[in-house]
Every structure is written in C-alpha cells, then in structure tokens.
Structure 1
C-alpha cells in the first residue's frame, strides 16, 4: 500500500507507481500512475460515509497546497459539512458582473420602460464594472461601492442616485441565492454625503404657452400620428408611454381605460375624454391599421418617446413631453376651483395617506370629466386666438 511516513517534496517527484500516504492524519495520499502521472487523493469520512476526493495533480498542486486543502476538507467534514459541496459552491461564486447580469434577467420582466431595462446594466458597466466588476460578489465592500458611486456623482449626479439602488438589487439577489450574507449597498452602509446640488425637474411650459405649442405642432411637417398623439397627450394629461401604446379597444365611449400594466403605479386608470379629445380620436380613425394602436408609426409600431420630445424642442419650445402634466397641474391650481384631489386623480397620483386612501375609494370620475372639459376649453380658446393672430399676420 505504501509507507505511512510523512512525504517529502523530493519523494513526491521521484516515487515509483503506487499509493503513498502522507502521514499527516488528514487522509491525504499520492497516487503515482504507471504513466508517471501523480495525483493527490484524500480519503475522509463525510457524514458517516467514507469518501474519496480528488485534489488535483502534481506539480500543478504542490505538496504544501495539497496538505492545506486536505486539512480544510477534514475541518469541514468534522463540522458535519460536505467538502465536495463546499468546493462546488466556491467555484460557483459569481463576480459582481455575473451577479448583476443574473439580477437583470430576473428583474427585466417587471420593467415597463425598455430604457430602464437597458440603463440597469449600461450604468453599472460605465461606473461600477471598471473597479469591481470582476471581483467576487462576496468580496465587494461598502468602501468599494462608495468610492465608485462618489466618482459617478462627480460626473452624473442623477445616474449616481440610481446606481445605489441598482447595486443594492444585485446584493439582494446575492443574499437570496446564498452567495453573500449582507448588503453593503444600503444607504446606511454607504453613508454617502448629502448631495447639495438641486435636482433638475422635467422642463415644462407655462400653461399659457401650451396652446401655442399645439398650434406649432399642428402646423409642423411631422406625421399625422405624431401631431395627434401630442395633442391627445396634452388634453388627457397623460404620460408619454400611456399614449404611445394606447389601443382602440381601450376606448369605451367617452372614456379611455388604461390597463394597469401600462400605468406607473400598476393600477388601471379611467380617463374622461373631452369633446376635443374625442375629435382627435376621430381624426386618428383614419390611421387605423392591423396593429390596433391609436397612434401607429409608419411601420405599425408605437411611436418613440424621442419622436414626440424631439418635435417639441425642434419647434422652439424648451419643454419635455412629460412636462405638459406639470402645465396642466399648475393651470388647475391657479386658474380653477377644482379640489386638489380631483387634479391629483386626473394625473393618476396615489394618495400617500393610507388612512385617507382607505376611505376615499371613489375616482371622482364625474368631477374629473368637468375638469378635463375645462382644460380642453382653455386650450382650444387659446388655440383659436393663436390661429386668428396667425391668420391676420
């Protein structure tokens, strides 16, 4: 069987074919094949059963390294663990980059906006991967993340804010998969200093300028679908994605029923349609195709958000499409007597007071109908003035 004395490095290199115990009490032995190949084997009791583990071959694995691994395996077995399973887990430990990709794959179905789906990985690649992307997830510290996020803040403050929770999602996945025990990307762990730079809000037009913008859009050389979509978006105070993906089956008489999956808060939203909004839909009927979209692009797909925003800016209006919701809200506050909750429900905002929300279950549809008609009247009266002035020039 071979000697049970302690092996030496010289013996490991020169012993003839056979099996040779190391004599360290770990069950380590060297098996020399007739071909001259030298393999490290360990015999150890794992949960009451004798197991034989391969530890690699010499000289890739030296005598000292084989002894170190054998000793650790014996310790794991003594604690009731399985050394082979431990080694497999160690080999399967993901890097931060691998964990981020796995996290992204799991979260992707929950994101409505393709931009959010793409930005998750692209921002990590730009600001996090260069310093820690190839590090094992379990070895990344709060200090590592803090340094990377502060560096990102210096270049792109808005992105840096999102990086914190994107990194946190990666570690939450790691905890759930058993790769890490704690999340070093929490606000408490990062202890980031307060960013005193003011957050920039979406650019919005004064409500008095919105009719001018509609007139400019109507007079532009943009596609009919784009023109109608922008006006419909303004008239309904809706988000771009809700309008661009709107379908004919969602129109129920004088009501537009937006399904929950397209709403930011994942709740269905009924929107009362003004007479002008219905007139816009009547124009859009001429564009009806097999896609079912109310405002289809030339290829039968939804218009892009960039198409709407770009047109408004090219016409000389410093505003984001989303900013028309702000224009509507300011108009309601300054020019009408409609209660605040009516305007908030028109924007599909959720009441943050849980107690109040529990009792106030009505969507105030009839009151919102009056409000949206008043908004349309305000816009069309302003639009008439714009057209009249333009015609007399």
Structure 2
C-alpha cells in the first residue's frame, strides 16, 4: 500500500505501478499488474475485512468513487454489509426486469385456456356456454383484465360480494368456477400461493354459507330447461288467457304491458311493438322486437278482433268494455295447465336462460326486460335501447322455445 495522503485526479490518471493507493476513509485506488486501475472500498463488518469493488477509473471518477465509498460507509455504520446490500438490489432489479419481460396471463386468458382443456370432455356445448355466460357477466367486468398472478382475496370479494346475498346460488357457482381458473393457473405456474377463491378455511370465514342465506322472494318461475315443453303446452291450450301467456313468454314483457297491448302500438312491418312511456314501470317508451312466432300470434288475434265497438283497440279485450282481460285470467290459465309458476315468473325463466346459455351482455339482457340501469353513470352513457342486439336475443329465445337447437345468442 502506497501513501496516506488524499489522491488527486492526476495521480489517478497517471499511476501505473501495481499496488493499493489510499485516498482515506477506506477508499483505495488499485492498480493491477496488467496496468488496470480500479476503485475498492475496504471495510470491516462482523469481525472480518472485506473489499468492495466500485468500478474502473475509466467509468468512475475520483469524485464519484468518494461518493460511492461514503454510501457504503453509511451502510456499515448501520450494521449492514454494503456488498450484500448491493447484491440484493441487483437481484430485485433483475426480478423486476424478468417480470416485465414475462408474458401477462390475465384472468380472462386463463379462463379461456381452461375452457379449451375442459370443453372436449363435456357432453353438451351448453356447459361451456354456461361457464362463458357467468364469467362474462360477473367476473370479466371486474377482474377479467387483471394479471392472474395478482388476484388476491380482495379481488375475489369484489366479484362475489355484490352477488352473495342477492343470488347466492349463482354466486356460489361463480366462486367455484373462479377457484378452478386459479387452480389451473397455479398448475401452469402462472401464479403461486394459496387459492384466494377457495371456500374451506378461507372464504367461509368471510362470507355467509349460501344455504344459510334467506332466499330473495321471487315470482314462482318455470326452470328455463323446461320452457320448450311448457311453451308447447301453452300454445296448444284454448282461451284468450293462453294467447296472452304466449305473448308474455315470447316477449318477456310484464303481464300488465301485455294485457293492455293496443293495436296502434304494433308495427307488424317493422316487427316492433312500441309501448308508450305512461304504461312502462320505468316511465320511458319501450321498443319490443317481435319474433316470427309473436307476429304469427298477432296475425291470428287480428283476424279474430272485434270489428266494431269499444274494446276493438285492445289486443286482448276483456268482457268489460274498454278493459283488457284480467290478471286472474292469466293466473287461472297457469293453474288450469298445471304450471308451477305465476305469469310474471316467465320473465325470470327468460332471464335465467339468457344468463346460462348466451354470451350476450348484462346490459342487453336487462334492456330486454325493460330494466333501467341501476348505475347512474351507465344510464348516462347508455342512450340507445340496444334494439338490434335485443332482436337477436329474442329470436334466439323463440328458437329455443321451438326446440330449434339451444337457441344460443351472442356467441
């Protein structure tokens, strides 16, 4: 080791004799036998001496070497080994770079990959359609674009909490499918750790058991899978009540809207029934797309309409002048046919079918039922009534009722 005085920039640039040249406070210029000049910081920690390289003089100036030595010295004063601290920082930087370079596997991509694996083993395409429908409606809008590795318990709860008390059966199904997706991602090494969607020992501490929840009281409805048979039964039945039920089923309209339907609201050429705002629950006009079976029903009703006198303007006139058939007429028809439902419940049958078998959006399905968006922001931006998409959905519903395939729409 040569000298103890502070080095100068000229000495650093011109010194060629091999050895160590002290600058003070543990900083040294090291000249190798091959003439290479570099900086080291010498320190003691944990009872042993260590030399930390700070770079070659060609890249690190004297002033910069003193700064680096000072930073290392501060670590030693704090009881930290500067070499180990530097290695840890380099490892973290490398991990961040690797993470940025690695492909991102979103929840949506993982779900599609899982479905591609499972689809060949399912006996019916409806199984895949049911998965796609529930994921598209409840999961993708919330976390579909999130990296599957970033899905945690909080993300799972953002999906499930809005559904859990309202539709516990559907929510439980969504949870199971999300758990399967995350398990698949773990096996593919796209994520690690425990599955945040698992029930036992995890979500069972955060959510009520589905079967303990008080069911929301709904109108009794026919299961959607039974609707084709029920549809044929209603079509074969006699009476004005059966004809009104046909239109309720085909349009998914409310019973009151169908009972009070007027001929001047129906445009058969445009295949539209426009219900005025004053007769709508949401107090805004509703355009109902008319399917081929609905138009056929209306043609048959038109042929038998009352030609003269009060009541001729109603599609389903009652016995009292100017009044339609009563609610009880439709309810009695359901009872006479032995149907386990009330007339309004057919809207639920339609909604369940749309949710389970189609890939149509939540907004389109709700618009088909003339439900106003609950979210004010959504309502502000949704100016149209999605008529073309609703027409395709209702055509698919009519095809399903007629037994023409599965009637799936929007896929």
TM-score by length of 2: 0.43
TM-score by length of 1: 0.45
Q: Which has the higher contact order (CA 8 A, sep 6+)?
A: 2
User: Of the two, which has the highest radius of gyration?
Assistant: 2
